[in-house]
Structure formats: C-alpha cells, structure tokens
Amino acid sequence: MSSAAISVHGVTARVPAKINLELVVGPRRADGFHHLATVFQAVGLHDDVTVEAADDWGITVNGPYADLVPVDDTNLAMQAARLLASEASIDVPVHITIDKDIPVAGGMAGGSADAAGALLACDALWGVGSSKAALEDLAAELGSDVPFALLGGTAMGSGRGDQLAPVLGRGRYHWVLAFSDVGLSTPKVYAECDRLRANRRVPEPAPSAAMMTALRSGDAASLGRALSNDLQPAAFSLQPRLEEVLRAGMDHGALGGIVSGSGPTVAFLVSDTEQGLDLAVALTASGSAPAVERAVGPVRGAHLITAPSGPSGPSGPRASVGSTGHQTGHTGPAGLRSS
C-alpha cells in the first residue's frame, strides 16, 4: 500500500474488497433492483481512502486502476462525502485521495469500498460521531454493496443486498483472484441475467443449506463445492473467455471457483498459501488471466488507520492497523501483480 495511507494530515480508512460466496438472484422488483439472497465475504485486497480538509471538493486516485476511475462528482466516494456533509450540515470541503488496489468494474465492490471509506473517514475528520446504524443507512442510499463494505467479515445479504446479518462461520480461506482487463457493467449483467431467464418463473431467493453448513464447518473443500452465483451465466454470456478462466483454475486443482458478483473477476478457493502460489503461477503462465492476486478472507470491514488531526495539527501515527489478510509480493513469473 502506498505511503499516502500513513498520511498524518488527514484521516485514512482502509476498506476491503468482497466476494459473493453465494448469490441467489430473485425476481426483478418494481424499482429495477433484484431481490437477493447472498453471502458476502470481505477479502484482504484493499483501497485506502484519505480525506483532508481543503478549500474545495476534489479527488485524486492512485494505483494501477487510477485511469479508470472518474475524478468528478460521479465518483461514489465523493457522493458519500457530500451526502454525509449534507446530512450533518457540514460546510468543510474535503480532498479525497484513493489508493486503489481493488479492480474497477471487477465485481469486487471497489467503488462501494471507496464510498464506505469516505463515509467513515469524513465522519471522523468532521467529528460527526454518527452511530453505526446512521452510517449504514447512508451507505445503503449510496449503493447495494456499500453497507457490507462497512461491516466486513462474512455476512448474509438480503433485500437488494443491503440488509445484512453477520454469519458466524469458522475458517480462514485462501483465494486466488483472476482479474480481467475488460470490466463488466453491473446493470448490464443483471439485464443479461433477466434476458437469459425470460421464460422461466424466478422464485424468491433463499440461501442454500449447503453454504451455511460449509461455513459453520469451516471446511474449505465443502465451501468450494457450495460456491454458486446466479449471475455467472450472464457474465459468461457477456465475456465468454471467463468460462475458460474458470475451467483453467479448476483443472489446476482449485477447491472451487466462481465469478465474483457481476464479474469479471474469477475467484478460486484453494487449501493453503502454497496451493494459492501454485495456482497463481499456473494461471499466469497459461495466459488465462492478465493479472492474478491472492487474498485471504474473511477480514474486517472499513476501519480507520490514522487518527483524526486535532485543531493544533496532525495527531501522529496510525491509531490502529488491523490484519489486512492481503498477501503481497510477486507470486511467480511476469504478469502477476504485487501491491
């Protein structure tokens, strides 16, 4: 993570990416969203969102995906900051700096992570002191996945994915993430899912017993078998190459593999660090995925890694640094990302 994460002039929140271990997509609702029954897991791939008081609102994005992120009012982190400012009647503009490691339009809720980070960091910078429930309400206004980015861990999501209940599961899981170099638009993937199911009756979504049993047991092989995603056929239909990526990972011995959310990231579950390294090298060497990274989950949700500055100046080093679960470093030959 870049040195901006330890800025002492502002407040930095660290926020994880997510994988949907299960994503059951129900009927389309009148508001255009779909009823979901989903199980989220936060994994150790993070964005750091730093906010500093400034003369005017602004945003800077650093990292490998910076060029793909809008730096105007359409940025979800900016919308989050302005929403909190308006709710709390704050008149102090901020400059937001995002150190981005979560891929853009990758199905890992990177934009949602940035929004959650901006909410948490601005709340601390401005000394608003919002309750957890108040921040969750604002998060849900910003997007379906934003509340989970605040919560982290492993959680069941219902409604449009924004109503959360933590899952008390066991286990620490090793993931290998195969990124695509072309993003997928979430609304387009949902629309394709509707198109593919146009002639079928779609039942109300419910979580599977197999997923809950696997999480309770903490057994990675059972979890691998229980992974499922109703958006996967739609992601395959829009990016047929993803099916080959999934097959390549399974052929190399992954315990399970799944398109993450609306894709195109494909997440593979492996038994341990060593198998993760082997799979990352194999996927890279085969040319199946342009970039591969490893991460463990579950990890905690959005949290501050610098204390707010007092009126007399910066307040010093990080208030706390949690275990990120992010496995850094090159894991094989050229092509693998490290961060």
- Residues forming the site for ligand C5P (CB under 6 A): 32-34, 36, 143-145, 160-161, 186-187, 190
- 267 bridge partner residues: 177, 258
188 given a catalytic annotation:
no
**What does the block give as tokens for 234?**
């739609």
Contacts for 306 with CB less than 8 Å, ≥ 6 apart: 6, 7, 8, 10, 11, 12, 50, 315, 317, 318, 319
CB of 114 to ligand C5P, least distance (A): 12
3-state SS assignment for residue 251: helix
Q: Which of 185, 179, 190, 196 is nearest to 241 (CA)?
A: 179
* Smallest separation (angstroms) from ligand C5P to the CB of 140: 9
Among the listed residues 18, 100, 101, 114, the single catalytic one is 18
Closest distance to ligand C5P from the beta carbon of 193 (Å)? 8
Residues 51/96, Cβ–Cβ less than 8 Å: yes
Task: Establish whether the linkage from the previous residue to 264 is cis, with ω within 30° of 0.
Answer: yes
Nearer to ligand C5P, 76 or 254 (CB): 76
Distances (CA, A) of 172 to 58, 62, 87: 38, 30, 38
Residue nearer to ligand C5P on the CB measure, 65 or 173: 65
If the CB atoms of residues 20 and 97 are measured against ligand C5P, the closer one turns out to be 20
Smaller CB separation from ligand C5P, 7 or 112: 112
Whichever of 12 and 186 has its CB closer to ligand C5P, that residue is 186
Q: Supply angle C-alpha 54, 59, 62, rounded to 5.
A: 125
Active-site choice (48, 99, 145, 230): 145
Residue 145 CB, nearest distance to ligand C5P (Å)? 5
By CB atoms closer than 10 A (0-12, 13-18, 19+), residue 332 is middle
CB of 328 to ligand C5P, least distance (A): 28
Least distance CB 314 / ligand C5P (angstroms): 35
CB of 294 closer than 8 Å to CB of 277: yes
Residue whose C-alpha is closest to residue 193's, from 232, 244, 239? 232
The one-letter amino acid code at 84 reads: L
219 catalytically annotated: no
Are 48 and 4 within 8 A, CB to CB? yes
Instruction: Give the shortest CB-143-to-ligand C5P separation in angstroms.
Output: 4
- Cβ nearer to ligand C5P, comparing 160 with 252: 160
Cα separation of 133 and 111, whole Å? 21
For ligand C5P, the closer CB: 184 or 211:
184
Determine the Cα–Cα distance for residues 95 and 51; give it in Å rounded to an integer.
6
Active site residues: 18, 145
